[in-house]
Structure 1
């Protein structure tokens, strides 16, 4: 079985991590693979470092369609992992004539135009990462199957206890409440800063690291300054060893407006860090309010503030959430389950 994975995103986000989990798992099952990605970007570098063959794309969809049309003839299946990757995978289909699979990771409706309908009608199988994404696609007449995003079962073995201690010491606080994600409108770290402002009135020694990069960095810095809490909101940028940073948190907070699933939540849960998240898209399929975490309305700083304080002050609740979340993720969202599901799907599509 020969698979070409297509991902044209810039930078390293949850989708790229999921793709990497998949290619590593498929490698252990002796699946031949290549990754079509932007030359020189994060995914390309990670593939080169780990010994995965790449098909070098340019970021220009017309040129990349030609490249994939030619290189795609090697494969049995072309698996697109993002929207633009989906575009070039289908557009190049008349040339490579291979089966195309698309994994949709976002929770907003697809465009209602002829080109989009044509694209989906020429896709052999669509995968949704949650029921929420599946239902959104269904409203547009697109059928899909669900294969959930995942997290490594042995993730705790990757933790460097000394580095975690070092991170906590560097942040210089007894209470660390953190957010992980690209600095975009979707992730809405402005809400995180609003909640931080309220929390600091009750817990003065709290600190609020934001881990990630993005176009809104300067606006977010200015917003924290306008609240007079810029010394408490720490912009740490992208971190290769993100797991150590998540493990260093007392509470993990996700403030997204839209979210297909939010794979960083899975990491926090497996690392035994309690989670507070906004009720965005597929998040509610992981964060079961009061059982695996606390779920709050979107754009509601007061509700977010109260949920974080509740976790910090109610030790019984905190322990219960940690135990339940770890068990829930361990039973339903592991990499092995995800890889097995895709391996089976490839076989079905080829039949």
Structure 2
């Protein structure tokens, strides 16, 4: 098969990593894989470093013209974001390739946008949802998405990167709790900060690192850290290259999300046997449930603080959760298996 991946995001987050995983899995299975992406972005840089053919355009609408001119080269055009799906289906009468779309969000489609979103989804030949939660809205609109969960794979830890972080934040002798999430409402950083403040009132043996930045709650988060007197405890560490390395020194990984289609960052924690405390938002319930971590209600900072304390102090509880989580991630979120599931669906489309 000739497969074109579409991803036009500026930065490097979970969806971009999953795009690269798909590309690698498809190539290992013997298929020709290329990428259409934002000029000068991290997606282009990383895919090119892996030896993929990368096509770059500077503005999102330019994808439409590119697909109209070149789309006929491909059997499958795989849109990894809602934005790229727009251009893929608009150009479909010209490129005539099968269009697949991976839905990685769980938001509810607003009534005024249902016609537009529904139109896009219905013109896709395949909708893949990364969790049952992400599949909910397409199902509500009468569609039949296929659930293929995101993947994660082991990687070598860059110890120099880790040691630089340890030195920067003075982590020696401290237990490390952390999250990796943008400072946006959906991730609810304010509840997380309140939970850490409550925990810090009970013990002084830890620091909290918040990887990720930007968004509509960044200023409020900074103000709450200062108002809570947490400047030496709660560190807004920003975006970091190689953030996966830092799981190797974490004692607990925490998610405070209000909305989450999957929460792929918890999969990294599972893979490196880091215990997880999380809200039960959307897809997090699917990942962290069944004893694979500690689940607490959304918005409940007291329960979140209690969950972190238990993970730090209850060795038997922690060990049981970690082993269940590791077994789960290796069986359900393997990159090769994810690739095979996608390819089976692509072959089905072409067979039609």
TM-score (norm 1): 0.94
2:286 corresponds to 1:297: no
Q: Give the conservation status (yes or no) of the 8 Å contact 2:106–2:136.
A: no
Question: Which residue of structure 2 aligns with residue 109 of structure 1?
Answer: 108
Q: 1:332 to 1:54 in 2, by over 3 A?
A: same
More moved, 210-219 vs 245-254: 210-219
2:279 corresponds to 1:281: no
Please give the alpha-carbon distance, in whole angstroms, between the structure 2 residues aligned to 1:165 and 1:275.
Answer: 23
Q: Give the conservation status (yes or no) of the 8 Å contact 1:109–1:137.
A: no
- The match for 1:167 among 162, 165, 168 is 165
Question: Which residue of structure 1 aligns with residue 18 of structure 2?
Answer: 18
Please give the alpha-carbon distance, in whole angstroms, between the structure 2 residues aligned to 1:99 and 1:333.
Answer: 25
Please give the alpha-carbon distance, in whole angstroms, between the structure 1 residues aligned to 2:161 and 2:122.
Answer: 49
Instruction: Report the CA distance between 1:314 and its aligned residue.
Output: 0.6
Question: Which residue of structure 2 aligns with residue 270 of structure 1?
Answer: 271
Partner SS state of residue 210, structure 2: strand
Instruction: Report the CA distance between 1:169 and its aligned residue.
Output: 4.8
1:290-319 Cα distance to aligned partner (Å, 9 max, x none):
x10001111110010000001111111011
Please give the alpha-carbon distance, in whole angstroms, between the structure 2 residues aligned to 1:302 and 1:251.
Answer: 17
Question: Which residue of structure 2 aligns with residue 212 of structure 1?
Answer: 212
Partner SS state of residue 338, structure 1: helix
Question: Which residue of structure 1 aligns with residue 255 of structure 2?
Answer: 254
Please give the alpha-carbon distance, in whole angstroms, between the structure 1 residues aligned to 2:120 and 2:242.
Answer: 37
Instruction: Report the CA distance between 1:243 and its aligned residue.
Output: 1.8
Give structure 2 stretches of 5+ with no counterpart: none
Where in structure 2 are the equivalents of 1:66-85 lying within 5 Å?
66-85=65-84
Q: Give the conservation status (yes or no) of the 8 Å contact 1:109–1:140.
A: no
Q: Give the conservation status (yes or no) of the 8 Å contact 1:276–1:294.
A: yes
Q: Give the conservation status (yes or no) of the 8 Å contact 2:253–2:274.
A: yes
Q: Give the conservation status (yes or no) of the 8 Å contact 1:176–1:208.
A: yes
Please give the alpha-carbon distance, in whole angstroms, between the structure 2 residues aligned to 1:218 and 1:279.
Answer: 26
Q: Give the conservation status (yes or no) of the 8 Å contact 2:211–2:240.
A: yes
Instruction: Report the CA distance between 1:182 and its aligned residue.
Output: 2.0
Question: Which residue of structure 1 aligns with residue 31 of structure 2?
Answer: 31
Partner SS state of residue 286, structure 1: helix
Please give the alpha-carbon distance, in whole angstroms, between the structure 1 residues aligned to 2:322 and 2:282.
Answer: 22
Give structure 1 stretches of 5+ with no counterpart: none
1:209-233 Cα distance to aligned partner (Å, 9 max, x none):
1111223433322221111112211
Instruction: Report the CA distance between 1:126 and its aligned residue.
Output: 0.5
Q: Give the conservation status (yes or no) of the 8 Å contact 2:175–2:205.
A: yes
Please give the alpha-carbon distance, in whole angstroms, between the structure 1 residues aligned to 2:186 and 2:288.
Answer: 18
CA RMSD, Structure 1 to Structure 2 (Å): 1.6
TM-score (norm 2): 0.94
Q: Give the conservation status (yes or no) of the 8 Å contact 1:167–1:248.
A: no
Partner SS state of residue 103, structure 1: strand
Question: Which residue of structure 2 aligns with residue 128 of structure 1?
Answer: 129
Matched length? 346
Please give the alpha-carbon distance, in whole angstroms, between the structure 2 residues aligned to 1:336 and 1:214.
Answer: 33
Q: Give the conservation status (yes or no) of the 8 Å contact 1:268–1:275.
A: yes
1:90-127 Cα distance to aligned partner (Å, 9 max, x none):
11111111110111011112344333222122111111
Question: Which residue of structure 2 aligns with residue 98 of structure 1?
Answer: 97
Q: Give the conservation status (yes or no) of the 8 Å contact 1:164–1:245.
A: yes
Where in structure 2 are the equivalents of 1:30-49 lying within 5 Å?
30-49=30-49
